Chains A and B, each alone.
Chain A
Amino acid sequence: MDEQAVLITGMTATSEWLVVLPLVLALMGSAFLLVLRRAKGAPALAAMLVVIGIIACEIALIGQILRGGPVSMTMGGWLPPFGISFTADLMGAGFALAAAIVTLLVLIYAEAERAGEGARDGFHALVLLLLGGVTGSFLTGDLFNLYVWFEVMLIASFGLLVLGGKPLQLDAAVKYGFLNIMAASFFLLALGLLNGLLGTLNMADIIGKAPGANPAAMTAVAALLMLAFAIKGAAFPVNNWLPASYHAPPAAVSALLGGLLTKVGVFALLRTMIVLLPGSYGLLQPLLAAAAIGSLLLGPLGAIAETNLRRAIGFMLIGGIGAVLAGIAMPTPDGIAGAGLYILHAIFTLTALYLVAGIIEQRTGHADTRQMGGLYAASSPLSLLFLLLVLAIAGVPPLLGFWPKLLLLQASTAGMGTTIDPWRLLLTLALLGNAVLTLIAGTRIWAHVFWRGGWEGEGSEYQEAPLVAVPRNAGLLTFGASGALVLMIVVAGLWPNPLLEAARIGVADMIDPERYIAAVELAGERQ
Chain B
Amino acid sequence: MDFFLAILVSIFVGCGVYLLLSQSVIRMLLGLTVLGNGINLLIFTAGRLTREVAPIVPAGLYTPAGPIANPLPQALILTAIVISFAMFSFLLVLAFRAYQTLDADNTNTMRLAEPPDAPQPPLSY
**A residues near B, CB below 8 A?**
1-3, 144, 148, 151, 154-155, 158, 162, 165, 167-168, 170-175, 177-178, 181-182, 184-185, 188-189, 191-193, 195-197, 243-245, 247-248, 304-307, 368-370, 444, 447-448, 452, 456
How far is it, in angstroms, between the C-alpha of A110 and the C-alpha of B120 when the chains are bound?
Answer: 33
What would be 6 A-B contacts, judged by CB atoms less than 8 Å apart?
A155-B90, A170-B102, A185-B35, A189-B39, A189-B42, A244-B113
What A residues does B95 contact at CB under 8 A? 174
Contact A196 B98, beta carbon cutoff 8 Å: no
B73 at interface (Cβ–Cβ under 8 A)?
Answer: yes
What B residues does A191 contact at CB under 8 A? 43, 76
Contact B32 A244, beta carbon cutoff 8 Å: no
A405 shortest CB reach to chain B, Å: 24
Contact B94 A370, beta carbon cutoff 8 Å: no
What B residues does A173 contact at CB under 8 A? 94, 98
B49 shortest CB reach to chain A, Å: 11
- Say whether, besides A178-B91, A370-B119, A370-B122, A171 and B102 are in contact (CB < 8 Å): yes
B50 at interface (Cβ–Cβ under 8 A)?
Answer: no
8 A Cβ contacts from B78-125 to A = 79-80, 83-84, 86-87, 90-91, 94-95, 97-98, 101-102, 107, 110-114, 119, 121-122, 124-125
- B123 nearest CB neighbor, chain A only: A456
How far is it, in angstroms, between the C-alpha of A166 and the C-alpha of B119 when the chains are bound?
Answer: 22
Contact A185 B32, beta carbon cutoff 8 Å: yes
How far is it, in angstroms, between the C-alpha of A2 and the C-alpha of B61 when the chains are bound?
Answer: 10
Given A151-B83, A247-B113, 12 more contacts at CB 8 Å?
A158-B90, A171-B113, A173-B94, A173-B98, A178-B32, A181-B32, A189-B39, A192-B46, A196-B45, A248-B113, A368-B119, A444-B125
A303 shortest CB reach to chain B, Å: 10
How far is it, in angstroms, between the C-alpha of A197 and the C-alpha of B48 when the chains are bound?
Answer: 10
- Say whether, besides A148-B83, A167-B102, A173-B94, A192 and B43 are in contact (CB < 8 Å): yes
A185 shortest CB reach to chain B, Å: 6
How far is it, in angstroms, between the C-alpha of A30 and the C-alpha of B13 when the chains are bound?
Answer: 36
B108 shortest CB reach to chain A, Å: 12
Of B36, B45, B83, B101, most buried by chain A (CB within 10 Å of CB) is B83
User: A196's contact among B48, B84, B102, B110, by CB below 8 Å, is which?
Assistant: B48
**B residues near A, CB below 8 A?**
13, 20, 25, 28, 32, 35-36, 39, 42-43, 45-48, 62-63, 72-73, 76, 79-80, 83-84, 86-87, 90-91, 94-95, 97-98, 101-102, 107, 110-114, 119, 121-122, 124-125
Of B63, B90, B125, most buried by chain A (CB within 10 Å of CB) is B90
What A residues does B98 contact at CB under 8 A? 170-171, 173-174
How far is it, in angstroms, between the C-alpha of A170 and the C-alpha of B43 when the chains are bound?
Answer: 33
Contact A304 B121, beta carbon cutoff 8 Å: yes
- Say whether, besides A1-B63, A144-B76, A306-B121, A154 and B87 are in contact (CB < 8 Å): yes
A444 shortest CB reach to chain B, Å: 6
What A residues does B79 contact at CB under 8 A? 144, 148
A136 shortest CB reach to chain B, Å: 14
User: B113's contact among A148, A154, A175, A304, by CB below 8 Å, is which?
Assistant: A175
User: B101's contact among A144, A167, A197, by CB below 8 Å, is which?
Assistant: A167
What A residues does B121 contact at CB under 8 A? 304-307
Contact A195 B94, beta carbon cutoff 8 Å: no
A173 shortest CB reach to chain B, Å: 6
What A residues does B32 contact at CB under 8 A? 178, 181-182, 185
User: A182's contact among B20, B45, B83, by CB below 8 Å, is which?
Assistant: B20
What A residues does B107 contact at CB under 8 A? 174-175
What A residues does B42 contact at CB under 8 A? 189, 192-193
How far is it, in angstroms, between the C-alpha of A496 and the C-alpha of B54 when the chains are bound?
Answer: 57
What A residues does B47 contact at CB under 8 A? 192, 195-196
Contact A181 B91, beta carbon cutoff 8 Å: yes
- Say whether, besides A195-B43, A447-B125, A165 and B110 are in contact (CB < 8 Å): no
- Say whether, besides A189-B39, A195-B47, A155 and B86 are in contact (CB < 8 Å): yes
Contact B90 A307, beta carbon cutoff 8 Å: no
How far is it, in angstroms, between the C-alpha of A158 and the C-alpha of B98 when the chains are bound?
Answer: 14
- B77 nearest CB neighbor, chain A only: A192
- B20 nearest CB neighbor, chain A only: A182
- B114 nearest CB neighbor, chain A only: A244
User: B91's contact among A177, A196, A247, by CB below 8 Å, is which?
Assistant: A177
User: A171's contact among B84, B91, B110, B119, by CB below 8 Å, is which?
Assistant: B110
What B residues does A162 contact at CB under 8 A? 94, 97
B30 shortest CB reach to chain A, Å: 12
User: B90's contact among A177, A193, A306, A444, by CB below 8 Å, is which?
Assistant: A177
Contact B122 A456, beta carbon cutoff 8 Å: yes
Contact B113 A178, beta carbon cutoff 8 Å: no
A420 shortest CB reach to chain B, Å: 35
How far is it, in angstroms, between the C-alpha of A245 and the C-alpha of B94 when the chains are bound?
Answer: 14
10 smallest beta-carbon distances between A and B, as pairs: A196-B46, A192-B43, A171-B112, A305-B121, A170-B98, A172-B113, A192-B42, A171-B113, A244-B113, A151-B83
Contact A165 B97, beta carbon cutoff 8 Å: yes
What B residues does A368 contact at CB under 8 A? 119
Contact B73 A195, beta carbon cutoff 8 Å: yes
B61 shortest CB reach to chain A, Å: 10
Contact A448 B122, beta carbon cutoff 8 Å: yes
B3 shortest CB reach to chain A, Å: 14
User: A448's contact among B39, B102, B124, by CB below 8 Å, is which?
Assistant: B124
- Say whether, besides A185-B36, A195-B47, A174 and B83 are in contact (CB < 8 Å): no
Contact B25 A174, beta carbon cutoff 8 Å: yes
A152 shortest CB reach to chain B, Å: 9
A167 shortest CB reach to chain B, Å: 5
- A150 nearest CB neighbor, chain B only: B83
How far is it, in angstroms, between the C-alpha of A184 and the C-alpha of B88 when the chains are bound?
Answer: 13
A455 shortest CB reach to chain B, Å: 11
User: B39's contact among A1, A185, A244, by CB below 8 Å, is which?
Assistant: A185
What B residues does A178 contact at CB under 8 A? 20, 28, 32, 91
